[in-house]
Structure 1
């Protein structure tokens, strides 16, 4: 039996966190390739550290009618165009520090052609549909505890850091790009009612005291949390180490894909283990996780459950999912087996290509996902965050 009264915690990290800098760069590479070839293959890993940016991985871009040699040259031309795009991404985050500067950091690119063994198993050919880029399990989740149908602890953690970043980009000179947040909420009868603990660590200009940093941070937290959530019993920790002047890649190395819980549901739901950033949408680690969120969100938006977790699994080179599992955590208004029978049909059977076509994923829409979560965002007019649409609600309501 599910507990109705408990405490739960989620964390977030800012766009300037070293791992998020790496995610942003890797997704900038994805966007650069998809802008030139919507069917491009990209698996890009990024390392950032003191005054150094290193890219590695596999890529492929093609044009209809081109020879193998022409496609190789086309792919290389995109690789050769990446450096200014990468530097622009770092500049947009705000890094102009001695230890990590968008203009002067060394840049190394070790991207190379995609493995032929992977390509032959994944590409469509003859009567064979495009297969999954790897085996794996993907999860999606939704909860009606916030308007965006996300866990409240994660939603508030993201909002705190996003507001701080907006202040910094708006000219707040006391703040620097690297930051982390953590929100603990008390739940009663399954609903969040109060904040028991708030933790925020933010990189700051030299010479600021903890009290001065708190003077910037506390009003932001109070503006994000619902009225009455912060009480005299709320425990605050703002820059608990005392000084946070050296941050970002200069303070700690960053790697693509190390913040997968921040990217998804803050620990409130299972995770299959695969990261999103740096991967084109043929990789089911990314596209099928988006599809699972899309389906779970529509189930909750349709009022069929208060909470919903969906799992889909794949085998490498095989188009059709191996399984689907639906869990409505005892809150469902219809049988979970009914949804397991119907949901995949709403997205063309959930093959990799069907997911990409239904959600419009073959577009350069990924750099924007690298910070503040891949889920719980507003869909963009150009197709960004299209997996957050609730356009299946009427079809799902008809199942009741």
Structure 2
């Protein structure tokens, strides 16, 4: 493994059109789970100028039942259900901050094309007789952790997220009223002996109020961004040699879905590890936790983070694989990239993971029960990364480090 190199990751704000779509999709997941903890949801969102379109499949008896004769005239929807979905969509857009002529929470056109879940998918997932609940799809999922930051995340991504979080907070609290919701960041860091030591290039593009691309207003915006970056990055990382690109194309007044269409699931590298670790290819947002694209990616992060937090490795990648309708994972893979502590092999860690009973055999149900995933906790995860966040009550349970003693005991 190379120890001296440059590496780059990017992040996008909650107002980026793809992230608007992710947050809407997860607002629908949360709505359904608030009605029925066993809901099945696969909700895709498209956003464009003054329009939001939902499509996908659901199973949530209090909201939708195609066989309910009393709801037939309403297309299988419970009274008020379609209106409640629309309210959730508009509320999400409003909370992000879009009140622009090209995309406004109150006046946008909304279309709902959600329909019932396929019975053929349901028969594979549902528990039945002696059959345990199966995975909602086939696939491979990766989790990762490293000791580059206190959040045990790649520094390039962790700090890219934090820069945009600060911009959003200052936009909403009035400290930076010239900012609008759409923004992107990107950091290039120099690594020496495997550790980040300096920032060689910074890119921040932020949507702004009219006129903040020239003259004194442009200077104010750029000075503000540089001040935020200086506060976020560790001391000494920014120097005279750092290359800056703030709104490098010039004016950025047209943004969000008015500037570019957004789709659920197009920012999977931003959502995970910024390219520092493999990705199985499946998106998270819009999916209930029976979909292992989501729940298995969460448990692999949880496992990798606990291994690093326990001091068993400085860097850890974990892969799980599943078949649709089958409960147990087909494979478990651990790679500590040569950073494992003395006497702890990757094979031993794989065996330890298999033998920790509270993980429920890493079946979809076992994962959900251990992490408490059948709850409306997902919209918060849909911007600024699903990983590297602070576990807070029911939110981000995959970021807990409460498996350390179990791992150590399983290795004895």
TM-score (normalizing by structure 2): 0.94
Q: Does structure 2 retain, via aligned residues, the 8 Å contact 1:61–1:71?
A: no
Structural mapping, 1:294-305, within 5 Å: 294-305=302-313
Question: Which of residues 315, 323, 337 is equivalent to 2:347?
Answer: 337
1: CA distance between counterparts of 2:135 and 2:71? 23
Name the SS of the counterpart of 2:361 in structure 1. Answer: coil
* Match of residue 177 from structure 1: 181
Name the SS of the counterpart of 2:205 in structure 1. Answer: strand
* Match of residue 54 from structure 1: 53
**Residues 205-228 of structure 1 deviation map (CA, whole Å, 9 limit, x = unaligned):** 001124232022110000000000
Aligned CA distance change for structure 1 residues 71 and 388 (closer, same or farther; 3 Å): farther
Name the SS of the counterpart of 1:311 in structure 2. Answer: strand
Q: Does structure 2 retain, via aligned residues, the 8 Å contact 1:48–1:255?
A: yes
Alpha-carbon deviation of 1:72?
7.3
Stretches of 4+ moved more than 6 A in 1?
A: 70-75
TM-score (normalizing by structure 1): 0.96
Name the SS of the counterpart of 2:257 in structure 1. Answer: helix
* Match of residue 322 from structure 1: 330
Q: Does structure 2 retain, via aligned residues, the 8 Å contact 1:79–1:111?
A: no
Structural mapping, 1:285-300, within 5 Å: 285-300=293-308
Structural mapping, 1:127-166, within 5 Å: 127-166=130-169
Alpha-carbon deviation of 1:22?
0.1
Question: Which of residues 236, 246, 271 is equivalent to 2:244?
Answer: 236
Q: Does structure 2 retain, via aligned residues, the 8 Å contact 1:5–1:187?
A: yes
Name the SS of the counterpart of 1:357 in structure 2. Answer: helix
Question: Which of residues 346, 351, 354 is equivalent to 2:366?
Answer: 354
Q: Does structure 1 retain, via aligned residues, the 8 Å contact 2:125–2:324?
A: yes
Name the SS of the counterpart of 2:196 in structure 1. Answer: strand
2: CA distance between counterparts of 1:71 and 1:327? 55
Name the SS of the counterpart of 1:365 in structure 2. Answer: coil
Q: Please say if 1:106 is aligned against 2:109.
A: yes
Q: Please say if 1:370 is aligned against 2:382.
A: yes
Question: Which of residues 211, 223, 232 is equivalent to 1:224?
Answer: 232
Q: Does structure 2 retain, via aligned residues, the 8 Å contact 1:99–1:250?
A: yes
Q: Structure 1: where are the runs of 5+ without partners?
A: none
Q: Please say if 1:390 is aligned against 2:401.
A: yes
**Residues 145-186 of structure 1 deviation map (CA, whole Å, 9 limit, x = unaligned):** 111100000000000000000000001220000000000100
Alpha-carbon deviation of 1:340?
1.1
Q: Structure 2: where are the runs of 5+ without partners?
A: none
Name the SS of the counterpart of 1:200 in structure 2. Answer: strand
| Number of residues of Structure 1 aligned to a counterpart in Structure 2 | 396
1: CA distance between counterparts of 2:285 and 2:100? 25
Alpha-carbon deviation of 1:71?
11
Name the SS of the counterpart of 2:249 in structure 1. Answer: coil
Question: Which of residues 182, 195, 199 is equivalent to 1:195?
Answer: 199
1: CA distance between counterparts of 2:312 and 2:113? 48
